[in-house]
Structure 1
Amino acid sequence: LLIALGILLSSAMRLDPGEKNSFIQGVSMINVGNFGLPLIHLTLGQEAVPLSIVYFVIFNIPLCTLAIYMSSDQTRLREIMLDVVRIPIFHAFLLALVFSWLDISVPGGIQQGLQLISAGAIPLLIFILGLQLAAISLSSLQDRLLRFVAIVSAASAVRLVVSPLAAVCILYFFPISQLEMSVAVLQTSAPAAILPLMYAIKFNKSPELLAAIILFTTVLSGITLPVIIQYL
């Protein structure tokens, strides 16, 4: 639904291909991991963590596949799919699923090495986000400043307001508990995910715009999330 809405709005605003990709990624790819998981643990308690992990795993499927597909600068389906399988995170995701399904334990030494690498992943992503934001300047935007602000504002509104409202409307028709409802709404109310920024950089799809959307949705979520949590 969010991808479809992103496509419609980006077409209505007549965005160029790079801006369109960043807009769609900003409104549809959600930071359900390093933002959503701690948030749910803090607000709903340990009981809600297993449910939030289910959402985290499911949302990572399009994040590791569809997000790359949309970001690819190729035109033929075969080349686009090759871009998807060339990204290491796709193989890591499949390998993790296999290890989980087969209940395979990772040797201690390898596990410690993976934990060390994973501990540095989020700071590295934030550092790259900062580099992209540093590349944005008022002088570089000039005549398109209002356009830039409008795109970021529209993406932030969809990500932080339309998304949770849509989730509530959809979940109303499902026989789920209040806890399940709260986890689902909170996870779909989180800011834009950082990982698609790596794809935007690799395929040169307006990474500065996506970085701005990530920053503003993260900052503005400090206003929207308390309201949503109070409602829940």
Structure 2
Amino acid sequence: MTEFDAILFDAGGVLVLPSPEMTGPLVEPFGGSAEPAVLMRGHFAGAHAMDHARAEGEESDWLAYGRAYVRAAGVPADREAEAAEAFVEGFNYTWWREPVPTAARTLHALAERGVPIGIVSNAGGQVENDLAALGICGVDTPGAARVACVIDSHVVGVSKPDPAIFRHALDALGLAASPRIAYVGDTVFFDVRASVAAGLTPLLHDPFGLHAADPHPSGPHRVLPRLEDLLDLV
């Protein structure tokens, strides 16, 4: 018996990551590594730190992301503060262009099985074109996995953790909110919170086990270590 009838995905931290070609030069001057595998972990360390910052009432969660990212990149402790400030100042929202290695083939496999899928992302208006250009997915993109919608917060005017953003995706899918619709995200504060409030089932993409090891979980969620694990749930 299948567990989910449809799956919605976040983009950043699930399908794409900040490009190492762009973030590497931000950390290297401070002694950090520009190795793609190291910087991939840097993103998830940053996402985990954002959740802690929000749970502790800290509004500057992007600075918390930067501190954790540069730390994971190997920046020495005595240069961490200045490296984090430089990272946050230099980062550009258009840099989310490094595909998560298994993203395209997982979405293709889901689409081939006829599973309704869609994208719901806090973004700056670029995410639909980026996902299509990278060959990951599109509403009507030759060679890419077909999705029912790509909901960009900048375009629709509402962003997570406001659950109202999911109404746009559910309308596109032609489905009512249900726990049998999963939402795959990479943060508790933005993704788990919003999808629970919307009546969906959150799955937290956590390939390095950072949230699973957290002694103070900040919200109800199931951990998804690998995107391809979704194929066992549909």
TM range (shorter): under 0.3
Higher helix share: 1
Higher RCO (Cα < 8 Å, 6 or more apart): 1
- In the superposition, the TM-score normalised over structure 1's length comes to 0.26
Q: Whose radius of gyration is greater, 1 or 2?
A: 1
- In the superposition, the TM-score normalised over structure 2's length comes to 0.25
Higher strand share: 2
